[in-house]
């Protein structure tokens, strides 16, 4: 199983991690609980948890952009909040309670501010950013984060490689009763599936399924391998609700050929352009 450095830090993580927002949420089955050793036995050493997942039944957390925004609304400046967070994380690491820290859903500007604060006050900067990344959400991970990776060594730990299940094709004929979009609290997902943009995405997903068939893999395996091909992506977090999904998602393609990547880009028609390409 492939392992990569988390950003340019010395921490080695498996290229696939297990996210627990879904896995330990309301969809988890006893079967998944019984087979949690499966990813570990297959070389996975990254398990992403947070206190808010599954009503507090899990552990570590990243500082999210929502926390920054809520504090800003209370009148505190963003720069002051970021400095306090960097100081707090440095304290946690110096006390031996953690070895590294990262951010979740921060903008590139906020991450650079955290790095600048760390340099200015001899503190410890974040080593990675958690970001949503899949076929239909590309700009941040493909344009903004690679710049941060080269400048300050921040890696990307990405989540939702299957776009909340959209890419699996389960919503091609509507919203199944047992799916996440049909659950309480997921009205936003149901609206997304039924929107005009959602229908356009589902049409492209059907074509991607045909491509996956030609390559001898599943649509999910193709989507996960596609995420891993991106520069600066240290690990892709998987969210599964049953053991079959876990086994399938761990069986990723060994590599993505340039031809396959070009074919997917042409099919999607949404490849973002870097600043250099835009100037050219």
Instruction: Measure CA 68 to chain center.
Output: 19
Q: State the first-to-last Cα distance of the chain, in angstroms, to the nearest integer.
A: 39
Each residue of 131-170: pLDDT tens digit? 999 999 999 999 999 999 999 999 999 999 999 888 998 8
- DSSP character for 135? T
CA angle 210, 179, 20 (to 5 degrees): 95
User: What residues are annotated to the active site?
Assistant: 53
Q: Please state the three-class secondary structure of the chain as a single string.
A: CCEEECCCCCCEEECEEEEHHHHCCCCCCHHHHHCCHHHHHCCCCCEECCCCHHHHCCCCCCEEHHHHHHHHHCCCCHHHHHHHHHHHHHHHHHCCCCCCCEEECCCHHHHHHHHHHHHHHCCCCCCEEEEECECCECHHHHHHHHHHHHHHCCEEEEECCCCCCHHHCCCCCCCCCCCHHHCCCCHHHHHHHHCHHHHHHHHHHHHHHHHHHHHCCCHHHHHHHHHHCCCCEEEEEECCCCHHHHHHHHCCCCCCCHHHHHHHHHHHCCCCCCHHHHHC
Task: Give the chain's domain count.
Answer: 1
Asked whether residue 195 is assigned to any structural domain, the reply reads: yes
Residues 165-215: pLDDT tens digits? 889 988 887 777 767 666 777 787 878 888 899 899 999 999 999 999 999
Q: Is 66 domain-assigned?
A: yes
Whether 280 maps to a domain, the answer reads no
What angle do the packed helices 196-215 and 187-194 form, to 10 degrees?
A: 80
pLDDT band with cut points at 50, 70 and 90 for residue 272: very high
Q: Residue 223's pLDDT is what?
A: 96
Q: What domain range includes position 49?
A: 3-268
Task: Tell me if 275 is assigned to some domain.
Answer: no
Residue 119's CATH number: 3.20.20.100
- Phi/psi-derived region of residue 94, left when phi > 0, alpha when psi is between -120 and 50, beta in every other case: alpha
For the segment 5-35, what is each residue's pLDDT rounded down to a tens digit?
A: 999 999 999 999 988 765 445 555 555 555 5
| Confidence band of 43 (pLDDT split at 50, 70, 90) | confident
Residue reference for tokens 């969809």: 27
| Listed range (20-29, 98-107, 141-150, 255-264) with the worst mean pLDDT | 20-29
Q: Is residue 278 part of a domain?
A: no
Residue 279 lies in a domain: no
Domain assignment present for 117? yes
pLDDT > 80? residue 49: no
Q: What is the pLDDT of residue 31?
A: 57
pLDDT score at 28: 54
Asked if residue 9 belongs to a domain, the reply is: yes
pLDDT in the model for residue 280: 42
């Amino acid at each position: 199983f492939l392992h990569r450095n988390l950003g340019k830090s010395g921490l080695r993580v498996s290229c696939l991690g297990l996210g627990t927002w879904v896995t330990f949420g309301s969809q988890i089955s006893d079967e998944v609980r019984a087979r949690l050793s499966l990813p570990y036995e297959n070389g996975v050493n990254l398990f992403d948890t947070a206190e808010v997942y599954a009503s507090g039944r899990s552990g570590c957390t990243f500082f999210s952009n929502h926390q920054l925004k809520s504090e800003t609304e209370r009148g505190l400046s963003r720069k002051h909040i970021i400095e306090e967070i960097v100081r707090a994380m440095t304290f946690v690491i110096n006390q031996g309670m953690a070895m590294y820290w990262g951010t979740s859903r921060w903008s590139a500007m906020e991450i650079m501010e955290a790095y600048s604060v760390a340099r200015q006050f001899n503190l410890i900067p974040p080593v990675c950013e958690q970001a949503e990344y899949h076929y239909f959400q590309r700009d941040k991970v493909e344009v903004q984060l690679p710049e941060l990776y080269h400048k300050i060594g921040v890696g990307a730990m990405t989540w939702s490689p299957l776009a909340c299940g959209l890419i699996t094709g389960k919503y091609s004929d509507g919203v199944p009763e047992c799916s996440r979009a049909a659950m309480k609290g997921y009205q936003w997902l149901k609206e997304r599936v039924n929107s005009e943009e959602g229908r356009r995405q589902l049409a492209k997903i059907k074509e991607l399924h045909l491509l996956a068939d030609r390559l001898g893999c599943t649509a999910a395996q193709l989507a996960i391998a596609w995420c891993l091909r991106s520069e600066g992506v240290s690990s892709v977090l998987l969210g599964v609700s049953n053991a079959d999904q876990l086994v399938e998602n761990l069986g990723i393609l060994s590599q993505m050929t340039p031809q396959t990547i070009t074919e997917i880009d042409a099919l999607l028609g949404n490849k973002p352009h870097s600043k250099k390409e835009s100037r050219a």
